[in-house]
Amino acid sequence: MEFLLVDSRNLVKEVETLNNLKSQGKIIFGIEVTIPELVKVCDVNLDPQHGHSKYGTAPLPLVLGPGAFDNTKSAIEVANSMSSIRHDLSRKLVVITNRADLDSIGTMAVLSGICQGYGLLPSNDRIKQISDANLFVSGKSEWKPKPLPTRDTPWTDGVGIEDNLELSALSAMVQDNKLSIDDRVYYMAMWLLGGKTAIWTQFIKYYDLVAKDRLAIIDAIESGDIQINRLSNQVVHVRSTHRAGTLLGYCIAPIVIAENPQWKFGKDENAVIGTKFTVCQWGKLLDLKRIADKLNEYQQGWGGNFEAGILGSPQNESAHAQLVDLQYLIESQLEETANFWFNR
C-alpha cells in the first residue's frame, strides 16, 4: 500500500501521474477526494460526508459497507468497519487524498493496519473521537453557542477539534507539509494505538504550537485586534487578521462572516493589501451557491466548497462587496426560507 497527498493546485500533472499509476496496474483508492477531476480517476473513493463516494471497477469496493454513502458517517468510521483487504489487492493500492486532515490521514492509518493484519481495535475510542470531531466541524451535529476562549478556560474539551488541545495538536501534525505523507500516517497510527504518549517526542512541538496560538487568539480578543459583532440571531461578523475568525464566530452564531481587512493578494513586492471575506455556515441554513452567483454578477471570483459550507471572495483581488451587501444577501435568504415554512 502506498500513500499520496495530491496537490489540487496542479490538477493536470496530478491526474497524469495517477493515470500512469493505473496503467501500471495500481488501484487508486481515494479518501475524501472532493475534486471532480480527481474523483473521476479514482477506482474507489470513500467520501461519505461530502457525497463523493464511488464504487468503481476495482474489486476492492466489495468489502465496503453501505456507510460509504451515509453522510452522517466519517471516512475513518466506515474504514474501521472493514474486516479485511485481500493481500493481492493491498499491494496494488495507492491511497490518495487532496485534503490532509484528521479524518483522511486517520482513515489511511486504519487501512494500513487492516492491510498489515494487526488492525486498530485497541484504538476504537480514539477513532470515535476523530469521527465525532469531524462530524462536528462539518456541521453534521447541532450547532450550540459556547463561551469564547479565555485565559482561565482556553480549551473547552468539547467534541470539536478546536475545543480540544490534543486534537488541535494532532491536526497541526497531519497538516505539517514538512512531514512526508508516510510519516503522518505512521504517527497517526501510533496515536490511535497508544495516544499522545506513544508519539510524545514528535508530538510535543505541535502541543506547544497550538497552545501558543490559542493564547495569541485570547490576546487579540482582549486587545480588540479581533472584533466580534453579532448582526442577528443567526449571523455574526468577525473582523480580524487572525485566522481564527470561523472558530470564534461559531461560538456566537451558526453563520459567520469573517473579514480580513489586511489580506495580501500576490507575492513579495507585487503584493497588494485588500479585504478578504469568508462566509461559513453550520449545517444547511443557506444556499451559498445562490449567494455566490449574485455576487459574481458584480465581481467574478466568488466561490468555495459549498457542500462544506464555505464561500469566499476572489483570491486574486480585494472584495468589492461590503459587509452590508453580504448581510443583506444572507438575511434576505434566511427570511425567504422562514416565510416558506411559515406559509406551508
Q: Is 232 found in the same domain as 193?
A: no
211-242 pLDDT tens trace? 999 999 999 999 999 999 999 999 999 999 98
8 Å CB contact between 127 and 76: yes
Half-sphere exposure of 261 (CA within 13 A, CB side): 9
Q: Which residue has the higher pLDDT, 242 or 165?
A: 165
Is 215 inside a domain boundary?
A: no
The single residue listed with the C-alpha cell 501534525 is 173
Q: Is 41 found in the same domain as 168?
A: yes
Looking at residue 59, its pLDDT comes to 55
Check whether 43 has a pLDDT greater than 80. Answer: yes
Q: Is 313 found in the same domain as 239?
A: yes
| Sign of the C-alpha dihedral computed for residues 235, 240, 246 and 252 taken in this order | negative
The 3-state DSSP class for residue 54 equals: strand
Looking at residue 219, its pLDDT comes to 95
Is 218 inside a domain boundary?
A: no
Q: Is 170 found in the same domain as 268?
A: no
Task: Indicate the burial class of 153 (C-beta count within 10 angstroms; 0-12, 13-18, 19 or more).
Answer: exposed
The mean per-residue pLDDT over the stretch 75-81 comes to 86
What angle do helix axes 165-174 and 200-223 make, rounded to 10 degrees? 110
Q: Is 185 found in the same domain as 55?
A: yes
Instruction: Determine the length of the chain.
Output: 344
Give the dihedral of Cα atoms 30, 34, 39, 44; nearest 10 deg.
Answer: 30
d(CA 304, CA 327): 18
Is 211 inside a domain boundary?
A: no
184-211 pLDDT tens trace? 999 999 999 888 998 999 999 999 999 9
Query: What range does the domain containing 325 cover?
Result: 227-342
Q: Is 260 found in the same domain as 148?
A: no
Is 186 inside a domain boundary?
A: yes
Report which secondary-structure segment, H or E, holds 257.
strand 255-265
Give the dihedral of Cα atoms 139, 144, 147, 153; nearest 10 deg.
Answer: -70
8 Å CB contact between 296 and 276: no
85-118 pLDDT tens trace? 777 778 889 999 998 999 999 999 999 888 877 6
Q: Is 137 found in the same domain as 265?
A: no
Check whether 120 has a pLDDT greater than 60. Answer: no
Q: How far is CA 166 from CA 142, 169, 172, 174, in A?
A: 23, 5, 10, 13
Is 12 inside a domain boundary?
A: yes
d(CA 252, CA 227): 12
Q: Is 186 found in the same domain as 281?
A: no
Is 247 inside a domain boundary?
A: yes
Q: Residue 242 maps to which CATH number?
A: 3.10.310
Q: Is 194 found in the same domain as 261?
A: no
**Mean pLDDT of the chain, nearest integer:** 87
8 Å CB contact between 174 and 100: yes
Residues β-bridged to residue 29 = 44, 95
Last residue of one domain, picked from the residues 162, 182, 199 = 199
d(CA 241, CA 206): 22
In 10 A of CB 189, how many CB atoms?
23
Is 130 inside a domain boundary?
A: yes
Check whether 139 has a pLDDT greater than 60. Answer: no
The 3-state DSSP class for residue 36 equals: helix
Q: Is 257 found in the same domain as 173?
A: no
Model confidence at 276, pLDDT cuts 50, 70, 90, reads very high
Last residue of one domain, picked from the residues 199, 214, 235 = 199
8 Å CB contact between 246 and 237: no
Q: Is 63 found in the same domain as 16?
A: yes
Closest CA to 35 of 21, 18, 22, 20: 18
Is 209 inside a domain boundary?
A: no
Check whether 131 has a pLDDT greater than 60. Answer: yes
Percentage of the chain modeled with pLDDT above 70:
90
Tell me which amino acid residue 301 is: G
Last residue of one domain, picked from the residues 157, 184, 199 = 199
> CA angle, corner 293, sides to 287 and 299, nearest 5?
135
The mean per-residue pLDDT over the stretch 38-48 comes to 89
Q: Are strands 27-31 and 93-97 parallel, antiparallel or unpaired?
A: parallel
Looking at residue 85, its pLDDT comes to 73
Q: Is 254 found in the same domain as 178?
A: no
**Domain total of the chain:** 2
Buried b (16+ CB within 10 A) or exposed e, 76-100: bbbbbebeebeeebbebbbbbbbbb
Q: How far is CA 242 from CA 15, 176, 246, in A?
A: 34, 19, 10
